[in-house]
């Protein structure tokens, strides 16, 4: 992926308004997503109590719900009714939250704060955190397979796309594995860094956007191309802003411990390129996301606003 151009001052002001519009959409989406997740996830009083309590602890800790909101926003841009999108949206949040729970484990990033609270393994112990992550992953696929708002063919396609995005060789697990392997290396290149994050962060974001379009009835790669390219740029934009916030934001704003990447001497966009060049890359991926949407057949103003929100985000 290429990051080449800069943003004019006028475009920056416009990005501010658009970000506010996307923020309002995200707030509304969060309410709907959280209510449906509450229905779909077993009660904390149902056996096995520890696993269900741990799932709920991590799920309902105030995540931004970016990935499920993207399913809703893309689906609506392609003409789907929100009722047909909501369960798929929840499945994406379950996969994302499982990945955070496992990423925080001592064997991986070893974090004790996430979404503003003690991480799942700190609260419930490692074994239960592993099981809670496993159960969230399984539940995600079950929800899609059992979603009777969707034709069987669409469900199968969604399951396949989500599995590819979550697993190996080109999904989140692959990205996480490459990222762990890169930790001990001082010679990670810019191209390698993009590749790690296309898999680790980008694949699920791309799959979320494609899922919305698939539920709406888009099925050919031609129809899906602009939204896939949009989301691929969005994924890298999201990762760069995540790296920047790790350097510049507070623990209160982030709900997790900032500065960990630098302390661990991890390859990040600011570490590799410097703060200013990392910011320029973020602006370039923002423009790339907007360009990709312009190549499609729908105007999708909300999807444009979401890209601006990610560029401007402070948490």
- CB of 148 vs ligand GRG, minimal distance in Å: 28
Considering only 37, 95, 173, 209, the residue that binds ligand GRG (CB under 6 A) is: 173
Contact string 227-266 vs ligand GRG (x = CB under 6 A)? ------------x--x------------------------
Give the 3-state secondary structure of residue 239.
helix
Considering only 33, 66, 144, 310, the residue that binds ligand GRG (CB under 6 A) is: 66
Handedness of CA 92, 100, 21, 13 (dihedral sign): negative
Asked if residue 119 binds ligand GRG (CB under 6 A), the reply is: no
The b/e string for 217-251 (b: 16+ C-beta within 10 A; e otherwise) is ebeeeebbebbbbbbbbbbbbbbbbbbbbbbebee
- CB of 151 vs ligand GRG, minimal distance in Å: 30
Asked if residue 52 binds ligand GRG (CB under 6 A), the reply is: no
Query: With CB under 6 A, what is the number of residues at the site for ligand GRG?
Result: 16
Asked if residue 147 binds ligand GRG (CB under 6 A), the reply is: no
CA distances from 231 to 111, 289, 309 (A): 28, 7, 14
Which listed range, 73-81, 99-107, 182-190, 277-285, lies at the site for ligand GRG (CB under 6 A)?
99-107
Cα gap 27→23, rounded to integer Å? 6
Restricting to residues 195-224, which ones interact with ligand GRG according to CB under 6 A?
200-201
Considering only 37, 54, 80, 172, the residue that binds ligand GRG (CB under 6 A) is: 172
**Nearest CB to ligand GRG, comparing residues 154 and 165:** 165
- CB of 166 vs ligand GRG, minimal distance in Å: 8
Closest CA to 117 of 65, 66, 59, 50: 59
Instruction: Give me the residues paired with residue 114 across strands.
Output: 117
- Please give the torsion angle defined by the CA atoms of residues 72, 179, 258 and 166, in that order, rounded to the nearest 10 degrees: 20
Considering only 63, 202, 212, 296, the residue that binds ligand GRG (CB under 6 A) is: 63
Main-chain dihedrals φ then ψ at residue 44, nearest 5 degrees:
-65, -15
Binding residues vs ligand GRG (CB under 6 A): 63-64, 66, 96, 99-100, 102-103, 115, 172-173, 176, 200-201, 239, 242
């Amino acid at each position: 992926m290429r990051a080449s151009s800069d943003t004019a001052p006028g475009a920056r002001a416009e990005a501010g308004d658009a970000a506010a519009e996307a923020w309002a959409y995200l707030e509304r989406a969060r309410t709907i997503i959280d209510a449906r997740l509450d229905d779909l996830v077993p009660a904390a009083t149902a056996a096995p109590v520890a696993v269900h309590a741990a799932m709920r602890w991590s799920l309902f800790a105030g995540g931004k719900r970016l990935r499920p909101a993207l399913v809703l926003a893309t689906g609506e841009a392609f003409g789907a009714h929100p009722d047909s999108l909501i369960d798929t949206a929840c499945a994406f949040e379950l996969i994302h939250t499982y990945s955070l729970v496992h990423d925080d484990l001592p064997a991986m990033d070893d974090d004790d704060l996430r979404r503003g609270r003690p991480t799942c393994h700190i609260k419930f112990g490692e074994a239960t955190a592993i099981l809670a992550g496993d159960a969230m992953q399984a539940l995600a696929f079950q929800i899609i397979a059992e979603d009777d708002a969707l034709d069987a063919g669409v469900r199968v396609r969604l399951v396949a796309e989500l599995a590819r995005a979550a697993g190996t060789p080109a999904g989140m697990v692959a990205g996480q594995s490459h990222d762990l392997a890169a930790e001990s290396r001082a010679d990670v290149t810019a191209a390698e860094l993009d590749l790690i994050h296309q898999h680790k962060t980008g694949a699920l974001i791309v799959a979320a956007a494609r899922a919305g379009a698939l539920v709406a009835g888009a099925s050919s790669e031609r129809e899906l191309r602009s939204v896939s390219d949009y989301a691929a740029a969005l994924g890298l934009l999201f990762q760069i802003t995540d790296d920047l916030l790790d350097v510049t934001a507070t623990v209160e704003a982030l709900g997790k411990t900032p500065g960990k990447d630098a302390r661990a001497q991890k390859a990040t966009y600011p570490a590799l390129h410097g703060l200013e060049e990392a910011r320029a890359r973020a602006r370039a991926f923002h423009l790339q996301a907007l360009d990709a949407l312009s190549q499609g057949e729908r105007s999708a103003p909300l999807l444009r606003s979401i890209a601006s929100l990610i560029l401007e985000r402070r948490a």
